[in-house]
Amino acid sequence: MLAGHPRAAYLSGGRRGRALVLKSASEPMFNVPPVVAATVAVLASIQAIREFILPESADLAVLAWFAFIPARYDPTPLVHGAYPGGIAADVWTFATYALLHGNWLHLGLNAIWLLAFGTPVARRFGAARFLSKDAVEVNGERLTARHIVIATGGSLVTDAATYQLLLERCVCVWLKASPDEHMSRVIAQGDMRPFKGRSAALDEIKKLLEDRKKLYAQAEITVDTSGKTLKQTFEQLKKALA
């Protein structure tokens, strides 16, 4: 006789009442697909390296190379070429930004959601389709997210409709800097492309800033970054937004 049980089968009968018990293997404590576990491990490793190993200057370089920064696409001399990587980085940052997190809380919340909802997806579709789906979703999130920080190029203010939309729906901050500061920051990054063929690049920057001054001033908050370190600017911005 064969008696059914969710985790075992008991087979009776045979010679002199001998019995054989068949037991299934015990379930693992954490039944997470390898691709999901590996994704969480990679994200945690990246955050740990940024948090505990890289100096602040190197971490900023990582952000410049791999974070999604809309200002990359501004063609004006103020911004064009200010970010490393060129055209290739304009493409890969659409995906690599998803590997970066603001802090451990940000990473932890994302990991919880990934473990909870990524597990059934990975089981159903497999590792390759799971990773492809993630690549599509991170770009969809970038395009549709409502609570985000948008770093725009300086020329955006000349597009009246778009700028008005930002003024109405966002807290706009003008990160103000002197013409010399704008120019020195680009040069400090070792990228001279914005100045090639422009013998009077500084004069162009001064004129651009002057022409757009009234437009920039429409921003709700103005933070003057001239002569300040990144940390000082960040602290000033936090106070202004508090």
First to last CA, the chain: 74
215 lies in a domain?
yes
Q: Where are the alpha helices (DSSP H) in the chain?
A: 34-48, 56-66, 86-96, 104-113, 119-125, 127-144, 160-169, 179-188, 201-216, 230-241
70 lies in a domain?
no
Residues 6+ apart with CB under 8 A from 66: 89, 92, 93, 96, 97, 99, 100
- What is the rounded distance in angstroms from the CA atom of residue 159 to the CA atom of residue 203? 23
| Total domains in the fold of the chain | 1
Q: What one-letter code names the amino acid at 233?
A: T
Specify the CATH number for the domain of residue 224.
3.40.50.300
The torsion angle over the Cα atoms of residues 238, 150, 136 and 131, rounded to 10 degrees, is -30
118 lies in a domain?
no
163 lies in a domain?
yes
Domain that holds residue 194: 152-242
pLDDT in tens, the chain (242 residues): 344 444 444 444 544 545 555 555 555 546 788 888 899 999 999 999 999 999 888 888 888 888 887 777 666 545 555 677 777 887 888 788 888 988 899 899 988 988 888 888 888 878 777 677 666 565 555 555 556 677 777 777 887 877 887 888 788 898 888 888 877 877 776 656 555 656 677 788 888 888 889 999 999 999 998 888 888 888 888 888 87
210 lies in a domain?
yes
Beta-carbon neighbour count of residue 66 at 10 Å? 19
**Stated pTM of the model:** 0.49
31 lies in a domain?
no
